[in-house]
Structure 1
Amino acid sequence: MCGRFALNATPDAVQSLLAVMDIDPFPPRYNIAPTQPILMALAGPAGGPGSNLPPRQAMLVRWGLIPSWAKNPADLPLLFNARSETAAEKASFRAAMRHRRALVPASGFYEWRRIGNKRAEPYWVRPRHGGVIAFAGLMESWSEPGGTELDTGAILTVDANEDLRGIHHRMPVVIDQQDFARWLDCLNQEPRDVADLLRPADPGFFEAVPVSDKVNKVANMGPELQERAEGRAAALDDEPKDAGDDQLTLF
């Protein structure tokens, strides 16, 4: 599951990684939560021979996908994650998987480890070698009865790799930079053609840093959220309690 993440990278770093058109300046964000705006990159307008158009466009969307067919979003769960194994068949995500695949830039994500009846312990999960990465995302536009259009999105998840399954059994899908074009090419690549990209990150890609429970509160947004918590071991030998796929557990 991915219920909180961060984007500490500079706009220039994000623009360089994703090859997007100009993006507005933004501050570091250390505690991004569902229903807040998140940055996504989608395939851009096709340019002709010799075009200087960047291949991708950036947009802000509400984190929490609302299917286009929804009559009342209040009747739906908050769809901030989508299981990669079933997204292509699920009514809520099927159209976005076929037509609106996206990349979500991130510096890492937070996950909570629960064992037995102990309270959940938060971890900051970041690329071992630093830098900005891109999660696999889906974008959908929803029109309210009054005609206002709202762009929304979700992050795809997959079974956790061996490094992280001691914290939680799910993790966000990371798309490698060399696969960006194929993942975003919804004109020529059907969901079955990119299914091989929906896999856990390689062992050793991430490291999990134990952090304080300050991150539990959405109002806390400073860099101290990512500081290592004293007295908390990073050993993950025990299996966590399986809390299922209830996306609202932490909120």
Structure 2
Amino acid sequence: MCGRFALTATPEELMELFGLLESEDFPARFNIAPTQPIMVVVAGERALPGSNLPERKAVLVRWGFMPGWVKDPRDFPLLINARAETAIEKASFRAAMRHRRVLVPVSGFYEWRRPPKGSSNPSQAYWVRPRRGGIVAFAGLMETWSSADGSEVDTAAIMTTAANASIRQIHDRMPVVIQPEDFARWLDCKTQEPREVADLLAPVAEDYFEAIPVSDKVNKVANTGPDIQDAVTPEVVPEVQAANKGKRDGPDSAQMSLF
């Protein structure tokens, strides 16, 4: 899955990678959380000068997908991720897969490795970034939700797929990465039907990301500084030692947790 990410690229870097004609002065953000505004890249209506390709625009949307048919958002779960394997058929995402595919620029994302049930080890947070640096484009879906009073909210979800072998050591899901050479296909909702871009919804190459253990600061939305990406040494408690400690301390002893 993807529950937190960062985007620290400059407007110039975003314009160059995504072919944007312009980009807002989007401040560096190190701990982007669900329900917050995120940047997505969409295909515009007009064609680029001297090209048949549509122009691309960067827009801000709420991270938390809301299908257009939802009457009351209070009765609907927050959809921050969409499973690539089922998005084409799932009622919540079917229309967006056909008509509103977007790219989500990120510098990297955070993931948590949960200990096995019964383990005394705490969860461990990781900062997962491209091994070679730069910006990553996640596959995303966008929908505009309209309330009864006529107000509109643009919303989006990040698509996930089964994790590759390296990320699977942390979590069994990972975001879908769209490579620059495939941007046009993914964004082309006029001629490319969902089944024709399904091949893009695969795990990225094994060596694409590197995972760096970080502290539990990332768990708190209020922590927004670059220090949340500082590497730490993971805390590992040997199971035999932990079991003995539990016997000595009694049933009320508490283990520290990242959540």
User: Is TM-score (shorter-chain normalized) higher than 0.5?
Assistant: yes
Counterpart residue number, 2:36 = 36
Task: Please give the secondary structure, in 1, of the residue aligned with 2:46.
Answer: coil
- Unaligned 5+ segments in structure 2 are 237-257
CA distance in 1, matches of 2:155, 2:21: 20
The answer to whether 1:60 aligns with 2:63 is no
Counterpart residue number, 1:246 = none
Counterpart residue number, 1:181 = 184
Counterpart residue number, 1:7 = 7
Counterpart residue number, 1:170 = 173
Name the structure where helix makes up a greater proportion of residues.
2
Q: Determine which structure has more spread, i.e. the larger CA radius of gyration.
A: 2
Counterpart residue number, 1:247 = none
Contact 1:2/1:81 (<8 A) preserved = yes
Using the aligned pairs only, state the percent identity: 63
CA distance in 1, matches of 2:151, 2:218: 33
Deviation at 1:47, TM superposition (A): 2.6
Q: How does 1:1-251 map to 2 (within 5 A)?
A: 1-47=1-47, 50=50, 55-116=55-116, 117=119, 118-229=121-232, 231-232=233-234
Against the structure 1 CA distance between its residues 123 and 188, is the aligned structure 2 distance closer, same or farther, given a 3 Å change threshold? Answer: same
After superposition, the C-alpha distances for 1:61-112 in whole angstroms (9 at most, x for unaligned) are: 0000000000011111110000000001111100000000000000000000
- Unaligned 5+ segments in structure 1 are 235-249
Contact 2:48/2:54 (<8 A) preserved = no
CA distance in 1, matches of 2:137, 2:112: 21
Task: Please give the secondary structure, in 2, of the residue aligned with 1:228.
Answer: coil
Deviation at 1:151, TM superposition (A): 0.3
Deviation at 1:21, TM superposition (A): 2.9
Residue identity matched to 1:104? V
Contact 1:21/1:54 (<8 A) preserved = no
CA distance in 1, matches of 2:198, 2:235: 36
Against the structure 1 CA distance between its residues 83 and 150, is the aligned structure 2 distance closer, same or farther, given a 3 Å change threshold? Answer: same
Task: Please give the secondary structure, in 2, of the residue aligned with 1:95.
Answer: helix
Contact 1:19/1:54 (<8 A) preserved = no
User: Over aligned residues, Cα RMSD in angstroms?
Assistant: 1.9
CA distance in 2, matches of 1:48, 1:220: 40
Residue identity matched to 1:167? I
TM-score by length of 2: 0.87
